[in-house]
């Protein structure tokens, strides 16, 4: 047996505590599978409270940056969180000291991943981050290694369990967004401040990383189009069901002849699509390769134990000597591929209007769509109340996004339109 792999864990929150528990509980299994033991040598957290597992024999630091710089270890595991501050400085200190780095920090990677990967290459150590995307689903390893012989054209998925739980519960019970969000907070599925999740930022960080790993292009978080789920209503979910769709918040990256699309927004997906049936707090990732065709991975995308499982998978690879370039290729080999602006997307859309039921209203709407070269495939109106506001739902044929947006702005300017139009893109998966 080789010498043990010596590990330091920075941050003993939910994932950090889970990582320590897993390493303690399955120590013998890991040693057998890796050919050497994985030993925790040091931990860092300013809060020294009892977390329900033994820490005897570990060197305890209050400062993760000092631990990364000074502890006698081979690997630093950063689980502090945040794109700047102590997390970033601890990662930079670990790489500067020539230590392998494992992190679950998607925000840090989305903003500084290339710089960290470059530092890791210069130091001859690994930068590993399986836990940063989709929790327990091994999508980074799948894209980087399992699909190494494929040219990937598209990767997309449900990457935030909080949003998926909210949309699932709204659809099943016809409940309002705020009501379900409150339940998610009570159950521990949503933070006290849920902005990061429900406004799409968490999904966008993960998608930026997936895009680079899948396509070998430069990491460009600023190029991700981001929308959240606050504007999705029970009415939209009910109409979607009637039309044969489900609504999911998806992160979508596609390699096209014009460049790379990177977008996060609510989507209507056919009820027959596998991803339409992934509900609750589960995540799902779908990848398309030229030889493998389509693969689908489903699992728990967050939480103490699934995410800890992904962290330890990276440690196991390092212990066994299985390391690869962070993004599948060296940083210098990442390609500059143009970003496709959202206005250039072509596709069908669901549009819901609230308009006064008066003669000539629909003729005005049809004229606006005609002038912008947007055609309608179907129209639904379930109630008539002459002189009062009624919902009108339209499904458009495939059209350029910029033309649809122009149309909606002009419709909103009509005196008979009483609410901002709601648009949800339809994805024909």
Ramachandran area for residue 134 (φ above 0: left; ψ -120 to 50: alpha; else beta): left
Q: Which fold has domain 139-300?
A: Dihydrodipicolinate Reductase; domain 2 (3.30.360)
365-389, pLDDT tens digit by residue? 999 999 999 999 988 876 666 667 8
pLDDT of residue 254: 96
Q: Which of 425, 412, 394, 423 is nearest to 355 (CA)?
A: 412
pLDDT of residue 240: 94
Concerning whether 206 is annotated as a catalytic residue, the answer is yes
Residues of the chain with CATH 3.30.70.260: 344-426
CATH placement of domain 5-132? 3.40.50.720
Residues of the chain with pLDDT under 70: 1, 382-387
> Domain 344-426: which CATH class?
alpha beta
Mean residue pLDDT across the chain: 94
171-196, pLDDT tens digit by residue? 998 899 999 999 988 888 888 889 99
Instruction: Report how far residue 401's alpha carbon sits from residue 76's, in angstroms, rounded to the nearest whole number.
Output: 45
187-240, pLDDT tens digit by residue? 888 888 899 999 999 999 999 999 999 999 999 999 999 999 999 999 999 999
Instruction: Report how far residue 283's alpha carbon sits from residue 168's, in angstroms, rounded to the nearest whole number.
Output: 12
Instruction: Report how far residue 9's alpha carbon sits from residue 17's, in angstroms, rounded to the nearest whole number.
Output: 9
- Neighbouring-strand partners of residue 251: 157, 264
Residues of the chain with CATH 3.30.360.10: 139-300
Give the number of residues written for the chain: 429
pLDDT of residue 383: 63
pLDDT of residue 387: 64
Given 206, 248, 358, 415, the catalytic residue: 206
Do 30 and 40 meet the contact criterion of CB atoms below 8 Å apart?
A: no
Residues of the chain with CATH 3.40.50.720: 5-132
pLDDT of residue 385: 65
Residue with structure tokens 């949800």?
424
Distances (CA, A) of 21 to 6, 13, 54, 311, 398: 16, 12, 9, 12, 51
């Amino acid at each position: 047996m080789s010498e043990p792999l010596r590990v330091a864990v920075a941050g003993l929150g939910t994932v950090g505590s889970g990582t320590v528990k897993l390493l303690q509980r399955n120590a013998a299994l890991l040693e057998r599978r890796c050919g050497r033991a994985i030993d925790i040598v040091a931990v860092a957290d300013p809060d020294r409270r009892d977390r329900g597992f033994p820490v005897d024999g570990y060197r305890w630091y209050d400062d993760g940056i000092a631990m990364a710089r000074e502890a006698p270890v081979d690997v630093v595991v950063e689980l502090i969180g945040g794109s700047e501050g102590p997390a970033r400085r601890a990662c930079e200190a670990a790489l500067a000291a020539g230590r392998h780095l494992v992190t679950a920090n998607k925000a840090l990677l989305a903003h500084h991943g290339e710089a960290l990967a470059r530092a890791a290459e210069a130091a001859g150590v690994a930068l590993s981050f399986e836990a940063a995307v989709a929790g327990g689903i091994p999508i980074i390893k799948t894209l980087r290694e399992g699909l190494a012989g494929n040219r990937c054209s598209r990767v997309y998925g449900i990457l935030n369990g909080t949003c998926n739980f909210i949309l699932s519960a709204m659809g099943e019970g016809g409940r309002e967004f705020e009501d379900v969000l409150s339940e998610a907070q009570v159950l521990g599925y949503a933070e006290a401040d849920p902005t990061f999740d429900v406004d799409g930022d968490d999904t966008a960080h993960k998608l930026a990383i997936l895009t680079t790993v899948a396509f070998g292009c430069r990491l460009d978080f600023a190029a991700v189009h981001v929308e959240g789920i606050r504007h999705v209503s029970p009415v939209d979910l009910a109409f979607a069901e009637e039309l044969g769709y489900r609504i999911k918040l998806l992160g979508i990256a596609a390699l096209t002849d014009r460049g790379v699309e990177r977008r996060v927004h609510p989507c209507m997906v056919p009820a027959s699509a596998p991803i339409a049936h992934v509900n609750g707090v589960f995540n799902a990732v779908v990848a398309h390769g030229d030889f493998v065709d389509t693969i689908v991975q489903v699992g728990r995308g967050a939480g103490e134990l699934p995410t800890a499982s992904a962290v330890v998978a990276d440690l196991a690879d390092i212990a066994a000597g299985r390391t690869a370039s962070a993004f599948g290729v060296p940083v210098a080999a990442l390609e500059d591929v143009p970003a496709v602006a959202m206005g250039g997307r072509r596709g069908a859309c669901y549009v819901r209007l609230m308009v006064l039921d008066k003669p000539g209203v629909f003729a005005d709407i049809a004229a606006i769509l005609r002038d912008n070269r947007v055609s309608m495939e179907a129209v639904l109106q379930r109630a008539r109340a002459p002189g009062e506001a009624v919902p009108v739902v339209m499904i458009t044929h495939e059209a350029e996004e910029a033309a649809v947006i122009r149309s909606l702005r002009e419709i909103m300017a009509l005196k008979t339109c009483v609410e901002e139009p709601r648009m949800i893109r339809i994805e024909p998966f």
